[in-house]
Amino acid sequence: MYAVGEREVDEDNTAQMPGYVRVDAMAAYRWKIRGSRLTAQVNISNLLDKKYFVTSRDRNFIRFGDPITVLGSLRLEY
């Protein structure tokens, strides 16, 4: 879990962005294959697909966080 509290939009404190909690997850599995090791891994960011604000320059520019993102990888060690 990644938690961020309420924060100001700009230096003049004209508005606030709400806080949020984002859930990330990871799973991996390893196999031994003839003296080598194969690892399969899946990473998921923003598992619950929460809409949230990441940063701002001022009241007119507030950037949303990324939607649910899945990344898979394979690693072979020999």
What average pLDDT score do residues 36-58 get? 93
- pLDDT reading at 77 higher than 80: yes
- Residue 5 binned pLDDT confidence (cut-offs 50, 70, 90): very high
Round to whole Å and give the CA distance between 3 and 41: 24
Range of the domain at 53: 2-77
Q: What is the pLDDT of residue 57?
A: 76
Number of compact structural domains in the chain:
1
Residues composing the chain: 78
47: left (phi over 0), alpha (psi -120 to 50) or beta: alpha
Which pTM was predicted? Answer: 0.77
Query: CA angle 27-44-46, nearest 5°?
Result: 140
